[in-house]
Amino acid sequence: MFDDFDEFSHLMLKYEFAIEKLKTELDILIKEYEFKNKYQPVDHIKSRIKTKESALKKLERKGYDITLDNLKEHIHDMVGVRIVCSFLSDVYDIVDIIEKSKVLKIKEKRDYIKNPKKSGYSSFHLIVLIPMRLEDEIEYIQAEIQIRTMAMDFWASLDHKIQYKYNGIPLEVQKEMYNCAIAIKSLDNKMIDLNEIASKHKDEN
């Protein structure tokens, strides 16, 4: 357990401020995009602050001592936002507008779409820094933004239920989940093609 309860509560409060600022900035960026392009790329957005229990488990899983410094440094998804898009191309458009944000600083990019995880997990992750003016000083709070298609989201949520975070899932199940991820990828590509055909058809008529 974290020894200094007051300091932990203060940190959680900062995460609450940070997630509000992040959601507002994303809302502005996405609405601007929608206005300019007359098109809505996002199906839905979810956000959460990681629970203390989940953070403790993750620190243990990664082999770190349970300290506030380790939490701040090594758990970069205490503040997390997930943006679920319609098409694969929308994912990259959203990454692009976030990268151009004047408020958020990009700390890291992880393209698990081009390079899926061993499990088959596919999604684009951005680790961003949110500047927070606290007690007259600017403090940067880390957050993870996961950007994915609806199909990837479907796979990830079921995978989470079936196997993620559990040990000893049969190899067969893992292999089948991987095969499902391949099928999801092919569906996402097919949807892009169908969308393009439909849009050409609209232009010609």
Binding site for ligand 0O2 (CB under 6 A): 54, 58, 77, 110, 117, 119, 121, 125, 156, 159-160, 164
The CB-of-4 to ligand 0O2 minimum distance in angstroms stands at 23
Q: Which is nearer to ligand 0O2, 33 or 153 (CB)?
A: 153
Q: Which is nearer to ligand 0O2, 117 or 200 (CB)?
A: 117
The CB-of-130 to ligand 0O2 minimum distance in angstroms stands at 17
Cβ-proximal residues to 133 (8 Å cutoff; 6+ apart), any chain? none
The CB-of-205 to ligand 0O2 minimum distance in angstroms stands at 42
The CB-of-185 to ligand 0O2 minimum distance in angstroms stands at 14
Q: Which is nearer to ligand 0O2, 67 or 119 (CB)?
A: 119
Per DSSP, 82 falls in state E
Nearest-angstrom CA–CA distance, 137 and 173: 50
Is the CB of residue 58 less than 8 Å from the CB of residue 75? Answer: yes
Nearest-angstrom CA–CA distance, 111 and 96: 13
Q: Which of 51, 37, 25, 61 is nearest to 145 (CA)?
A: 25
Q: Which is nearer to ligand 0O2, 87 or 121 (CB)?
A: 121
Nearest-angstrom CA–CA distance, 200 and 172: 42
Q: How many helical (H) and strand (E) elements, i.e. helices and strands, does the chain have?
A: 6, 5
The CB-of-79 to ligand 0O2 minimum distance in angstroms stands at 11
Q: Which is nearer to ligand 0O2, 26 or 81 (CB)?
A: 81
Identify the helix (H) or strand (E) that includes residue 182: helix 171-204
Three-state DSSP state, 202: helix
